[in-house]
């Protein structure tokens, strides 16, 4: 009987993006795309990891550091190599990377079968991270319009307040890459909310989706987005701590709730991204 192949962890490179995208699609993560991994590399290539087993690409993991807090996500290993413990090695590498950079709180969305492992690594469950998918009947609203580059400073300032950290790199990049699927609500010159979406594998991944404290713009933003892109399926994720968002999506015609994951944290801040104005999260890998 031969020995197990040697496992090596290295930094992801631009040439690995096709592999990373294909691997997430094999795992059923239809909302991931080449652009997602290109954004991670542009943000911080040192936090993007690839595992090799015997010289074969075997898995990936991304550590995303914001100003004070961070996320671990995109942890996936090729099916035929999952018995080698590569996922645990990748996760440990990502965790150490964020710790070495002084990250105060580290968050993740844990699949149900991995929760016990994450708990053994010092993470605790905060709330369920819900998933919805389906087609939505659209409706146009006069105060909803497409996002423009000059909106981004105001949008980022509001997001820092709602999210609790600075993720403006990803918001700006999503707007630049998908300007046609990013909308804002504006009344009397006031930015009341926004919704961003990006194409995935046969669907439109929605998030972040934000509406100001009174939440009057939440429904119009999603309806208007559906009016402009109503022939495709939508995918949305929301933290169950936002009871209004969870209630809205559970009652929305055409949407079906899928298997949830768990928002988990290691560190003092359990409220990162938990704000009543935040309806849909951007992704489980970066909030």
Specify the pLDDT at position 214.
67
Task: Examine the pLDDT at 29 and tell me if it is beyond 80.
Answer: yes
Residue 35 domain flag:
yes
**CATH code at position 171:** 3.40.630.30
Residue 127 domain flag:
no
Task: Examine the pLDDT at 203 and tell me if it is beyond 60.
Answer: yes
Tens of pLDDT, residue by residue over 65-119, are 999 999 999 999 999 988 889 999 999 999 999 999 999 999 999 999 999 999 9
Instruction: Report the domain count for the chain.
Output: 2
For 31, the domain range is 7-104
Residue 69 domain flag:
yes
| Mean pLDDT, rounded, for 38-65 | 97
Shared domain check, 170 and 34: no
Shared domain check, 162 and 85: no
Which of 67, 87, 104 is a domain's end point? 104
Structure tokens at 155: 């949008």
Shared domain check, 269 and 144: yes
Shared domain check, 68 and 155: no
Task: Examine the pLDDT at 51 and tell me if it is beyond 60.
Answer: yes
Tens of pLDDT, residue by residue over 212-260, are 866 789 999 999 999 999 788 999 999 999 999 999 999 999 999 999 9
Which of 104, 123, 153 is a domain's end point? 104
Confidence of residue 1 (pLDDT cuts 50, 70, 90): very low
Shared domain check, 261 and 141: yes
| Mean pLDDT, rounded, for 124-146 | 96
Shared domain check, 153 and 77: no
Residue 224 domain flag:
yes
């Amino acid at each position: 009987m031969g020995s197990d192949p040697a496992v090596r962890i290295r930094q992801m490179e631009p040439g690995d993006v096709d592999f990373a995208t294909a691997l997430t699609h094999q795992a059923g993560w239809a909302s991931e795309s080449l652009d997602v991994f290109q954004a991670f590399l542009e943000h911080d290539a040192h936090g993007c990891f690839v595992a090799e087993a015997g010289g074969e690409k075997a898995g990936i993991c991304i550590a995303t550091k914001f100003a004070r807090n961070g996320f671990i996500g995109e942890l996936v290993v090729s099916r035929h190599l999952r018995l080698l413990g590569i996922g645990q090695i990748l996760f440990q590498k990502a965790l150490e990377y964020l710790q070495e950079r002084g990250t105060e709180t580290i968050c993740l969305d844990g699949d149900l079968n991995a929760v016990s492992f994450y708990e053994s690594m010092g993470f605790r469950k905060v709330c369920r991270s819900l998933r919805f998918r389906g087609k939505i009947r659209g409706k146009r609203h006069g105060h909803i319009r497409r996002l423009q580059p000059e909106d981004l400073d105001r949008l980022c300032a509001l997001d820092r307040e709602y999210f609790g950290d600075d993720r403006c790199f990803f918001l700006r990049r999503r707007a630049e890459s998908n300007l046609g699927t990013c909308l804002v609500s504006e009344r009397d010159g006031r930015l009341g909310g926004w919704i961003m979406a990006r194409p995935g594998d046969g669907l439109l991944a929605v998030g972040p989706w934000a509406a100001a404290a009174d939440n009057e713009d939440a429904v119009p933003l999603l309806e208007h987005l559906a009016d402009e892109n109503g022939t495709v399926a939508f995918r949305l994720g929301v933290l169950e701590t936002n009871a209004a968002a969870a209630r809205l999506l559970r009652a929305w015609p055409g949407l079906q709730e899928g298997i949830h994951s768990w928002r988990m944290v290691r560190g003092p801040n359990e409220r990162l991204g938990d704000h009543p104005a935040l309806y849909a999260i951007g992704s489980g890998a970066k909030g």
